[in-house]
Every structure is written in C-alpha cells, then in structure tokens.
Amino acid sequence: MIRRESAIVTDPVTLSEPQPTRLVRIEAFALDPAFAEAFEGAVGAPLPAVGRVTDAPAGPVIWAEPRAVLASGDAAALSAALSGVAAVSDVSGAWRRIDLTGPGWRERLMIDGLFDAESPGFAPGCVAATLLRHAPVMLCPTGRDGVLICVAPSFAADLRAALAR
C-alpha cells in the first residue's frame, strides 16, 4: 500500500513528573493595593499580571484566576502573613505536574486541545488555563523546549497516556 506523505511531522517529546511541591492558592479578598503590597512582602515577588508567571524565591507564582494565584510555600505561614487581605489554602495535592519537553511540545498540545500553543507569543512567563483532551489544565512554557502542564490528579493518568500516544 501507499502511505501518503503526511503534512504532519511529529517531533519527539518526553514526559516526566516532577515531585510535588508545597503549593498554595492565594485568593485576594479584593484586588487592591493593600493586597498587592502584602503579597509582595509575603511571597517575595510582585503579584503576577493576568496570564503571567513570576519567579519568587520559593518557586514560580502562577496567575490562576482573576483574584487567585498559585504559589509555592507553607500555607500556614503565608496565611498568617496575608491575614486580612487574602485567603490561603494548601492545594499541594490538587495539582499534578507533567513536564513535557522536546521540540514537539507545542504541536503535542494542539492534539485535542483548544488553545493556540503554537502562537510564538506563548512563551516562558505565560500561563494558559484551558482544556487539553477534556482535562482542565494550566500550561506554563518553561523554555524553548518545554512546558509544564498542571492537571488535577484525577485526570493525570489519562492525560499522561494520551500525551504519550
């Protein structure tokens, strides 16, 4: 039989799952200067802009919702530091991290995805929350050759298998 030359050239990717870190969700009571100031004091980095990731001493700070971010750190300590301006919850178990690396990562995210991961503007420092193969995910490019995929643990096994297919 003849197989037509496909328009698709799938570059290789590799998958790995880093160890879970201590992750907290910080939800501002109101997006006001008091919160921004307290946040920067507590986390050691400015509040990320919409759709952005910033680096803090403890790890990346990911914009998640209009008034919520994900950050690394100890929930109790951050909660105390942000008392009165934000709610802090430990969500360490709520996200699995999948590192997808290799030149084909962008293309791999287009398979049964909805988000334009092939856009050149989607680069390190960005975060996009979307659906990938029906699983709610957050996508954070980590460099030219990789992306961090945060996914709820219940969807992780299916997603990992699908990404590896």
Partner 1 sequence: MMLIPCPHCGPRAHAEFTFDRPVEAITRPDDTADALVRNLFSRDNPRGHSRELWRHTYGCRAWIALTRDTATHAITDVQAWGAKA
Partner 2 sequence: MSGGSRLPAGGLIDRSRTLRFGFDGRDFTGHPGDTLASALLASGVRVFGRSFKYHRTRGLLAAGVEEPSALVGAGEGGRFEPNTRATDLHLYDGLVAESQNRWPSLALDVGAVNQLIAPFIPAGFYYKTFLGPPALWKLYEHVIRAAAGLGRPPHLPDPDRYERRAAFCDVLVVGAGPAGLSAALAAARSGARVALAEMDSRLGGSLLGDPAQIDGQPARDWIAASETELRTLGVRVLTRTTAIGYYDHDMVYLAERVVEPGAATGDDGIAQRMWRMRAGRVILAQGAIERPLPFEDNDRPGVMLSGAVRTYLDRFGVAAGQRIVLATSSDDAYRTAIRLCDAGVRVEALLDARSGDAIDADLLRRTRDRCPVETGVRPVRALGGAKGVTGLAAAAAGGAASFIADVIAVSGGLTPSVHLHMQAGGGLDWDEGRGIFTPTAPRQGQVSIGACAGRFGLADALSDAWRAGLDAAAATGGRPVADTPPRFEGRAFADQISAFVPAPGVNPKKVFVDPQNDVTLGDLDLAWREGYRSVEHQKRYTTLGMATDQGKTSNLIGLARLAQNEGRPAPQVGLTTFRPPFIPTTLGLWAGEDAGFHVTPLRRTPLHDQHAAFDPPWQAVGYWRRPRAYLRAGETLATAALREARMVRTTVGITDVSTLGKFEVSGPDAAQLLERVCATSVSKLAVGRGRYTFMLREDGLVNDDGTVWRLAEDRFLLTSSTGGADRMAGLISYVRNVLYPDLRVGAANVQEHHAAIAVAGPRARAVIAAVVEGMAPPRHMSLGRGVVAGVPVLVIAASYSGERAFEVYAPSHQAVAVWTALAEAAQAQDGGLYGLEALEILRVEKGHVETGGEIDGRTSAHDLRLEKMLNPRGGYVGQLAQQRPAFADPDRLQFVGVESLGGPIAEGSMLVERPGFAVQGHVTAAGLRVLEEGFVGLALLKGGRARPGDELLAWSPTRTASARVRVCEPVFHDPAGERYRD
- What is the number of residues in the chain? 165
Give φ, ψ of 158 to 5 degrees: -60, -45
Site for partner 2 in 99-158 (CB under 8 A): 110-116, 118-119, 133-135, 152-155, 157-158
Q: Shortest CA distance to 108 belongs to which of 73, 64, 61, 159?
A: 159
Q: Which does 45 bind (CB under 5 to 8 A by kind): partner 2, partner 1, none?
A: none
Site for partner 1 in 100-159 (CB under 8 A): 114-115, 128-131, 136
According to the binding rule CB under 8 A, does residue 54 interact with partner 1?
A: no
Q: Which residue has the tokens 């328009």?
A: 7
Q: Which does 144 bind (CB under 5 to 8 A by kind): partner 2, partner 1, none?
A: none
Q: Which does 129 bind (CB under 5 to 8 A by kind): partner 1, partner 2, none?
A: partner 1
Residue 138: count other Cβ atoms within 10 Å of its Cβ.
20
According to the binding rule CB under 8 A, does residue 31 interact with partner 2?
A: no
Token pair recorded at residue 142: 């980590």
Measured distance CA(118)–CA(136) in Å, rounded: 19
Q: Cα dihedral sign for 124, 41, 129, 151?
A: positive
According to the binding rule CB under 8 A, does residue 164 interact with partner 2?
A: no
Is residue 64 within 8 A of residue 49, CB to CB? The reply is no
| Interface pattern 65-94 for partner 1 (x via CB under 8 A) | xx----------------------------
Measured distance CA(149)–CA(139) in Å, rounded: 5
Q: Interface residues with partner 2 (CB under 8 A)? A: 1-4, 6-8, 10, 20, 25-30, 68, 79, 84, 86-96, 110-116, 118-119, 133-135, 152-155, 157-158, 162
Residues that bind partner 1 (CB under 8 A): 50-51, 64-66, 114-115, 128-131, 136
